[in-house]
Chains A and B, each alone.
Chain A
């Protein structure tokens, strides 16, 4: 039986202060998947591609340095036709996705733990700073020896490359938690799980998304670098093989694929950010 399950005294009713009603949350309209792509961005890309074709056609630079865009696109179509492009895309996408997932899960857990415990922060801090300073390529050979040439070593390279932004942003996120709110939760003797769900996760969402954005970008680079060393398929492998035989058209074709993949994944992250921003906008002061 709670105290407040009694009627409010009538005298209070007119003493109750009421601010002007504030506009309610807009009806739950979803953020569009593709944000408005600015016209100048599209124009910029189209102009750049056109410039590429014109410069190559006029042979203003050596065709070995810059082949025609049309040639590159033809090669791309050829790759697609011979079906290995699709296989390469899958070969790249799978370790990239697994490594990204691993980075996000492990990284946010480690970062949150470091943010919550000063002791753990001191223990792990030097390792994080140390890892941050080393180009992750340094570990590729070690991972190949340890895990072989398959998926595992590539996932390991991707994770080593992409995990730190998650660690650092989630560490900051947990550190930024309002101590007064945490004390309030303690005063109700709230269990850990409830504090995590109702306070820590919602309060650190913006940090999470910021880390996620960088992690996704780094993971793609990590995957391509891993394929340079240890693969028989994948976009990075094709890029490496083509470079070694000076198959410049293939090099540019793969660069195009990577650029498009990068833009697409960034768009997906931006979509996520807009969802969060919307949600934050309606709920945070």
Chain B
């Protein structure tokens, strides 16, 4: 069942414009299984985001290859900032993703109305992004990405800018969505507890250029209740990853 959804073979990404000899990602290989949630954690600036953008096709690979298990992968990206169109209504923002798939505007808006209802924003369709709280904007961002029916969701620190309470409700929401559909997800995050709560596997990356330091399997059944975060077994995994992470950033102050 755990078929390969995506394999990264010896992937290297160097930005031409940076003029720095050190590539962001250098010779990284990893696999993403079908229907799993894979979390990637690592010190700041280690190339996590670059890796995600490479998978999304937003930055070109310098060498290496992405080997997809499906003939026509449909990835969608949820960015850290909501990246909403400030001049468009909430519903038009969600519709943008569908319109990009070639859906006519009317149909795209029709579908978006339903999508907004599912993220609890049915009443907010005709409002503008600035009228929404950060958490609500992020749910619009999520609805826009999920609306296009992706088979791979790429999440780049999607909840980092939210307050703790909103973040937990979003984590819970995301875990439910992932369980309900045939979806694979790659999650880049700073928050170790978020990684362990959501993911089936957690990969810890080294400082730049990123390579895999350790891979930790998270054995808990999904869906997971939020109170799992208080479980000693959960805490043990969290501690293990946290300590590995600290070793990767010796200069960082260990609080």
Residues of A within 8 A of B (CB): 1-9, 11-13, 15-19, 22, 24-25, 180-181, 183-191, 194, 198-199, 202-203, 280, 282-285
Contact = CB atoms under 8 A, between A and B. Distances in A.
B86 A285 contact: yes
Contacts of B126: 24-25
B70 interface: no
Contacts of A5: 114-115, 118
Interface stretch (B5-13, B30-38, B132-140, B228-236): B132-140
19 contacts: A2-B148, A3-B149, A4-B114, A4-B147, A5-B118, A9-B176, A12-B120, A13-B120, A16-B169, A19-B132, A183-B83, A184-B83, A185-B100, A188-B76, A188-B100, A190-B100, A191-B102, A203-B87, A282-B128
Contacts of A7: 118
B166 A3 contact: no
B115 A188 contact: no
B130 A285 contact: yes
A27 to B, nearest CB: 13
Given A5-B115, A9-B176, A180-B81, A194 B146 contact: no
B149 A2 contact: yes
Given A5-B118, A15-B172, A180 B88 contact: no
B115 to A, nearest CB: 5
Given A24-B127, A188-B76, A4 B58 contact: no
Contact of B56 (A3, A12, A187, A284): A187
Given A9-B176, A16-B169, A283-B87, A198 B99 contact: yes
Q: Is the interface of A mostly helix, strand, loop or mixed?
A: loop
A199 B127 CA distance: 18
Please name the 9 residue pairs, one residue from A and one from B, whose CB atoms are nearest each other, closest first: A285-B130, A15-B169, A190-B100, A188-B100, A4-B118, A22-B131, A184-B83, A19-B133, A187-B77
A120 to B, nearest CB: 18
B85 interface: yes
**Interface hub of B58, B86, B87, B120 (most chain A Cβ within 10 A):** B87
B18 interface: no
A280 B100 CA distance: 24
Interface of B: 56, 58, 76-77, 79, 81, 83, 85-88, 92, 96-97, 99-102, 111, 114-115, 117-120, 126-133, 135-136, 143, 146-150, 165-166, 168-169, 172-173, 176-177, 180-181, 183
A202 B85 contact: yes
B225 to A, nearest CB: 9
A19 B177 CA distance: 24
Given A3-B150, A187-B79, A285-B128, 7 more contacts: A6-B118, A22-B127, A188-B100, A190-B100, A194-B96, A198-B92, A285-B86
B151 to A, nearest CB: 10
A5 B149 CA distance: 10
B178 to A, nearest CB: 8
B117 to A, nearest CB: 8
A284 B87 contact: yes
A194 B100 contact: yes
Contacts of B130: 284-285
